[in-house]
Amino acid sequence: MKYLLLIPAFAVCACNAPKKTVTATAVNPENYANTITSQELKDHLYTFASDEFEGRDTGEEGQKKAAQYIKNYYEKEAIGSPIAEGDYFQEIPSAYFNNKYKDSENVIGFIKGKELPNEVVILTAHYDHVGKKGEEIYNGADDDGSGSVALLEIAEAFKKAVKDGYQPKRSVVFLHVTGEEKGLLGSKFYVENPIFPLANTVANLNTDMIGRIDVKHEGKEDYIYLIGSDKLSTDLHNLSEEVNKKYVQLDIDYTYNDDNDPNRFYYRSDHYNFAKHNIPIIFYFNGVHADYHKPTDTPEKINYDLLAKRTQLIFYTAWEIANRDQRIIVDKAK
């Protein structure tokens, strides 16, 4: 290909010039949302919810394997930790569980903000589940393997933007909590021992079960339940709606956001520990199904295309919160 020789030398040299980092507002986030794929989510989840991980019971060997899996992934992707270099584990001693469970740990990844690094957006998903009973393993593919692998893919998308020179304005924290099934204990420990001051925590997006379809939505699958988005911040709710309309167009179902809904899901996953401290939250949820908390919650029952779409919605929402000029406004503090 002879004509290549006509390219001026400076054009070739430009490739090696150090990349100038700018804030991510200058780029279209679709470039990075598209790196979140159903195939990668599936590859992760078939390991994460395999029998080898023994239902990821808090403090047990399967949960440790899952913790190691998350850590190895962040190391491989060169995504840092906010604790210390190479140390991704926030240790929780057995004493904190009144010695009912063995020592356990939250696992935390971190992408530092460029202009406002002390303001953090925290994404949570619990990576523990209920373990096994006798020979029966509770794989917890949807609960909450789906949210766990979603966070890995969202972190990867943010990291790719950083590599291209687009660092988020605010910091983004990927907090994989343990002990959820024992009573939201990992997230409770985190808010009692926060790595970033709660006053600087601008929002929490919690993902717990986003890979399945409930009975109500059979045949109209492009949906997600959102809970809590307007409880503390009108601003967060509006942002979330705008982002969905612009990029993903899922049917957002607010049924469970009703204060009078008897299921009281607002109080039943890790986001609530943040909401208690007046940190605005959104809880992403697919509703319950026949395999909920049964050994039959397995990876082949997940709808991976839908999981990818829902994961992209969470990515776009986090991206907008991290990158826009104004911090999320809390107008309904309790």
What are the phi and psi torsion angles at 208 (to 5°)?
-140, 100
Contact 121, 171 (CB under 8 A): yes
Cα–Cα distance measured from residue 184 to residue 229, given in angstroms and rounded to the nearest whole number: 19
Compare residues 46 and 292 and give the one whose CB is closer to Zn ion.
292
Which residue's structure tokens are 């000029």? Answer: 325
Shortest distance in whole angstroms from residue 41 CB to Zn ion: 17
Compare residues 180 and 235 and give the one whose CB is closer to Zn ion.
180
Shortest distance in whole angstroms from residue 290 CB to Zn ion: 16
Shortest distance in whole angstroms from residue 123 CB to Zn ion: 15
Compare residues 113 and 131 and give the one whose CB is closer to Zn ion.
131
Q: Which residues bind Zn ion (CB under 5 A)?
A: 143-144, 208
Compare residues 60 and 143 and give the one whose CB is closer to Zn ion.
143
Compare residues 143 and 230 and give the one whose CB is closer to Zn ion.
143
Shortest distance in whole angstroms from residue 128 CB to Zn ion: 9
Shortest distance in whole angstroms from residue 169 CB to Zn ion: 31
Compare residues 127 and 166 and give the one whose CB is closer to Zn ion.
127
Shortest distance in whole angstroms from residue 145 CB to Zn ion: 10
Compare residues 57 and 144 and give the one whose CB is closer to Zn ion.
144
Shortest distance in whole angstroms from residue 144 CB to Zn ion: 4
Compare residues 244 and 269 and give the one whose CB is closer to Zn ion.
269
Cα–chain-centroid distance for residue 132?
Answer: 25
Sign (positive/negative) of CA torsion 88, 69, 65, 130? positive
Shortest distance in whole angstroms from residue 209 CB to Zn ion: 6
